[in-house]
Structure 1
Amino acid sequence: MEVDDEIGSVESKVDGVGDRLCSVFSRSHWDSIKDSPHELWIVFVLKLLSSYSYFSFALVLTLFLSTEFQMSDVEAGWVYGLYGVFSTVFGVLCGWVVDWLGVKWSLFFGAILGTIARLLLCFCTAPRSAVIVLVTALPFAESLGIPVMTIAIKRYTHTSNRTFAFALYYSCMNIAALVAGPAVDASRALFSDGVTLPLTSIRLSALRVVLFTSAVSTFITVLVVFMGLREIEVNEDGEIMPYHPPSRQVGAWKATVRVLKEKSFWRLVLFTLLLMGVGLVFRHMDSTLPKFMLREFGGSDDAEGVPFGMVYAINPAMIIVLVPLVGMVLTRVDSYTMIVRGSFVAAASPFWVALGAHYWAVCMFVVTLSLGEAVYSPRVYDYTMQLAGRGSEGVYTSLASAPLFAVKLLTGGMSGWLLERFCPEHPPPERNAAALWSIVGATSMLSPILMVILQPVLHPKQSPNIIPPVLNSMHHLEDDNASEGHNSESSNTGESDAEYQTGFGNLERLRRQHSSSNSSSSSSS
């Protein structure tokens, strides 16, 4: 009898997963955003353009610095790190500016400055000039662009459709990354001997062509912004209203002091710092993997026919497919739990390459990293925006990244040191893929381990059993499902309810919960 009950229980679980999987293709998710303001769709287009600019540029940056300016691996790594540090510095300094300027003008000024900065990098011939642009104009431009689009998604949506909008937003980013990788390989193959710009005598190398296309993509965003962005927000009834930034009323300094006094802000600071371990793997995808592949499979940084861009494209290709599927199937699993479990998978991915310098190992590294990213990364958007108060999103997200100054700098230096020590362009010393990628993996694994240890601080309402199970995953998924009603009714602050509502879920379920716990939902939003 017990066996029959257990079989029936398993069948019901499988049926439940199947139902949620089918809901991925339901029109209800698309219907939830069809009446959204046209600004939401403009932001999706802007995300495509800006993401192509970023990914194509980041993928070749260290290679560009070494081949065009003869920088060593360590020098190029430190410059890459400085670029990341100043992106964070300007992000912190400009957080209140974003809240004060609003979405439209932040995007406009950021796109103009970003276009100029990328063109300067494309045509400059002096290493000092390139470094100056990388630590001033370009990071400042990005601080006025990339974070603003996340804020825009929050303001242009409401509780019932925000999660699906974030999923589409995340997919746009990965579609651009999917294009960027092959575009880099195509540029290296088609313009290996360089190309002369029409009507000029200016000759660009293959890597400079990549930078030129990123500048063009950034310039197009200037035009798209003027297709009709307004300073608006959508309330929980779906009504479009003018947006009036609170920071203009209280002042930049008062807004900053107010945020610094909020406990949720310091939780976000700690969470952001802990997540950097996993983020380090993605930085090595940009700064370390291209040179590693060129040297191991091609012999030198100038080698042709090593498709590191195509390998890089495995990641966005998988994410585009997996994010909606994983999100819908695991809709009822708590966001923090998803972040921790996905981080474990992503952090383990570098150990594949530690097995040896083989194409299959590199591909498995990217595949495993993508699986982990599909589980945790979309939930980070929700978790961050849930903690940020209305009108303080820019200050929240910028100040919370302040601890990353040293981390980003060390990541760049680490990349250069690892390449020079374990994968030099011209040995000796002998190359050692096992040591290089084991160090990367061990460093990355600190993120999920510390998130488990510090879970009572970061997410006190969540059950401590958040380490990814192997044999009992379906059992834990059912436990999460069974606790749905309890979580939404027993929350004292409304925060757990907000996290649950903004999980990747069935739209009808979200509507039912919203109507049955209206007061709790109002406090959460």
Structure 2
Amino acid sequence: MAHGTATDLSDDGLIQKFTVLLSAPRELWIVYFGKVMETAAYALFNAGLMLYLINDLRFSDEGAGFFVGLWAVMISFFTFLVGSLSDAIGIRKTLIFSFTLCAITRGLTAVLGDPILAPVLGLVPMSLGVAMTIPVMVAAARRFTNKRQRSMGFALLYVMMNVGFAIAGKLYDKVRNWMGEEGTFVIPGVGIELSVYETIFLIAAAFTVVGLVPCMAFMREGVEMPEEGDEVTFDTSAQAPAEGGPIRQAGQILKKTGAILAEVFREKAFYRFLLFLTIVVGVRMVFYHMHYTLPPWADRELGYGSRFGTAWGVLNPVMIIGLTPLVGALFSRVSSYRMIIVGTSVCALSCFLLVLPIDTFAFLVPTGASGPVKWFLDIDGDLAPLYFTLLIFAAAFSVGEALWSPRLYQYTASVAPKGREATYMGLSLLPMFFAKFIVGPMSGVLLGLYCPAEGARQSSNLWLVVAVMAVASPVLIMALRKFIAADSDEEEDLVPASGADGDEEVTP
């Protein structure tokens, strides 16, 4: 074992790990702010989407599930395509375009109120805007950090995302409680009357505009951080305008995008990378059930105004905010493979808590535990035992998520060759692209079968299906270890993509 000097020990200290980003360019902090705003907008919209389709547009459970599945598939499809576009036109232009498109389409969805116009003019083009923000922000986190900053840079990006989720969760419950199930809001000066879910969509559009402004006003084009050192560099090719008119410029961008995709598909390691991401789909699908299955389930089991926005949408991200930087600092030398195995196992097993009968924790209701829970959920009346189940599940799941999810985030960008970060991030969603063909309709079918709006319910069966699919991920990761582990002395390290920096490990 090597003996480090006092300086070495200081460099490895917790304080140094948390302050390493102070020398990062302002663009990184603009991206962090944009991540908070866009995540809050996305989470608000997602939390209300399924109930908006069922209550406002009068879709059936199965119809609403099919639609949100199709919408999620469209997001993944566009993400698959626009990752290379982002690498081609630059981070600043991509962010400005995506934020603008999301703001307009979220606003349109809020005011149209038509079962045909709202999806066609609002939701469909919005999927492109949402898709563009996903790979570009991960690419920015790599491009705006050096090798020494990268681990904490990705951890903080994940924290910012969860800050946005926490804001959305609390605000969602507040708006629903303030307006009531049949309440309306009239836009001042315009006179358009909005339902509770349309009002939530309008608030989401406002968050998007707030995130757009700093990107337009303060972000510089072509900023990069070198692998070593803290001096910001500029990629002049990113700042140079394309030659010719708009049609020729578009052709040049498409040609460059196609060349990038062709290069990536020739890399053998890319397919091992896709195999690994396919395996973790089972546990990743739980997040989509929290967006689309949980809201109707909670309202049907607990009544309108159920505090699922706080119980899941606040507790989960708040715990992630606290745990992720700590986990990143304490376990930075533990391999990504090991962290992902443990984390996905904890997440998957926690789903079985929702399978328990709804009165399992009824013995806690008359105890002193009720006071803090009622305060956290902002409940004045009686406390349903099901809230304890939901909170314990959310807490356990969050611990597992903090262990594995940031590592998958970092792994996706770290294996990418330089200049191909957004492409890899876009292509990394390809397995979820196919999974979303299942998860959306599955949500509607499970609700219709086991938790209908009227009639007998067997909600335990609903969550049993979700839990079994989640458990498949850690089981397959362990079973297929030889196929997804690198051929190196460190068997537990995940394989880096061909063309990645030669001596840079995938694990931080």
Is 1:432 equivalent to 2:458 in the alignment?
yes
Show the 5 A alignment for 1:78-227.
78-133=66-121, 136-192=124-180, 193-227=183-217
Q: Name the structure 2 match of 1:309.
A: 309
User: CA offsets per residue over residues 39-75 of structure 1, 9 Å max, x none?
Assistant: 1111111111111011111111101111110111111
Match of 1:255 among 257, 260, 273: 260
Match for 2:308: what amino acid? F
Alpha-carbon distance in 2 for matches of 1:244, 1:368: 47
Match for 2:215: what amino acid? V
Match for 2:230: what amino acid? G
Q: Name the structure 1 match of 2:296.
A: 291
Match for 1:433: what amino acid? S
Match of 2:486 among 446, 450, 460: 460
* 5+ long unaligned stretches in structure 2: 1-8, 239-251, 359-385, 495-499
Match of 1:371 among 399, 403, 409: 399
User: CA offsets per residue over residues 284-337 of structure 1, 9 Å max, x none?
Assistant: 111111111111112xxxx23x11111121100111111122222222210121
Match for 2:342: what amino acid? R
CA contact (8 A) 1:52 1:177 kept: yes
Q: Name the structure 2 match of 1:243.
A: 235
Deviation at 1:442, TM superposition (A): 0.2
Give the count of matched residue pairs: 450
Provide the TM-score with structure 1 as the length reference: 0.81
In structure 2, the CA distance between the partners of 1:497 and 1:272, relative to structure 1 (3 Å rule), is same
In structure 2, the CA distance between the partners of 1:461 and 1:67, relative to structure 1 (3 Å rule), is same
Match for 2:262: what amino acid? V
Alpha-carbon distance in 2 for matches of 1:274, 1:142: 24
In structure 2, the CA distance between the partners of 1:133 and 1:264, relative to structure 1 (3 Å rule), is farther
Alpha-carbon distance in 1 for matches of 2:155, 2:429: 23
* 5+ long unaligned stretches in structure 1: 1-18, 467-479, 481-486, 488-492, 504-525
Q: Name the structure 2 match of 1:324.
A: 325
Show the 5 A alignment for 1:354-503.
354-357=355-358, 358-427=386-455, 430-461=456-487, 497-500=504-507, 503=508
Q: Percent identity?
A: 31
Is 1:70 equivalent to 2:61 in the alignment?
no
Deviation at 1:134, TM superposition (A): 5.9
Q: Name the structure 2 match of 1:59.
A: 47
Match for 2:67: what amino acid? V
Alpha-carbon distance in 2 for matches of 1:262, 1:216: 42
Q: Name the structure 1 match of 2:349.
A: 348
Q: Secondary structure at the match of 1:94?
A: helix
| Greater Cα offset, 134-143 or 161-170 | 134-143
Q: Secondary structure at the match of 2:69?
A: helix
User: CA offsets per residue over residues 60-93 of structure 1, 9 Å max, x none?
Assistant: 1101111110111111111111111000111122
Alpha-carbon distance in 2 for matches of 1:172, 1:331: 19
CA contact (8 A) 1:264 1:387 kept: no
Deviation at 1:256, TM superposition (A): 1.3
In structure 2, the CA distance between the partners of 1:135 and 1:458, relative to structure 1 (3 Å rule), is farther
CA contact (8 A) 1:99 1:391 kept: yes
Alpha-carbon distance in 2 for matches of 1:274, 1:135: 29
Alpha-carbon distance in 2 for matches of 1:398, 1:178: 25
CA contact (8 A) 1:83 1:134 kept: no
Q: Secondary structure at the match of 1:136?
A: helix
Alpha-carbon distance in 2 for matches of 1:409, 1:228: 39
In structure 2, the CA distance between the partners of 1:291 and 1:496, relative to structure 1 (3 Å rule), is farther
CA contact (8 A) 1:461 1:496 kept: no
Deviation at 1:495, TM superposition (A): 6.6
Alpha-carbon distance in 1 for matches of 2:81, 2:24: 32
Q: Secondary structure at the match of 2:163?
A: helix
Match for 1:373: what amino acid? E
CA contact (8 A) 1:187 1:207 kept: no
Q: Secondary structure at the match of 1:227?
A: helix
Deviation at 1:175, TM superposition (A): 1.0
CA contact (8 A) 2:89 2:253 kept: no
CA contact (8 A) 1:194 1:203 kept: yes
CA contact (8 A) 1:86 1:135 kept: no
Q: Secondary structure at the match of 1:108?
A: helix
CA contact (8 A) 1:122 1:211 kept: yes
Q: Name the structure 2 match of 1:228.
A: 218
Alpha-carbon distance in 1 for matches of 2:459, 2:150: 42
Alpha-carbon distance in 2 for matches of 1:333, 1:460: 15
Match for 2:296: what amino acid? K
RMSD: 2.5
CA contact (8 A) 1:99 1:245 kept: no
Match for 1:69: what amino acid? L
Alpha-carbon distance in 2 for matches of 1:264, 1:386: 13
Deviation at 1:497, TM superposition (A): 4.9
CA contact (8 A) 1:92 1:399 kept: yes
CA contact (8 A) 2:416 2:424 kept: yes
Alpha-carbon distance in 1 for matches of 2:131, 2:349: 31
CA contact (8 A) 2:77 2:433 kept: yes
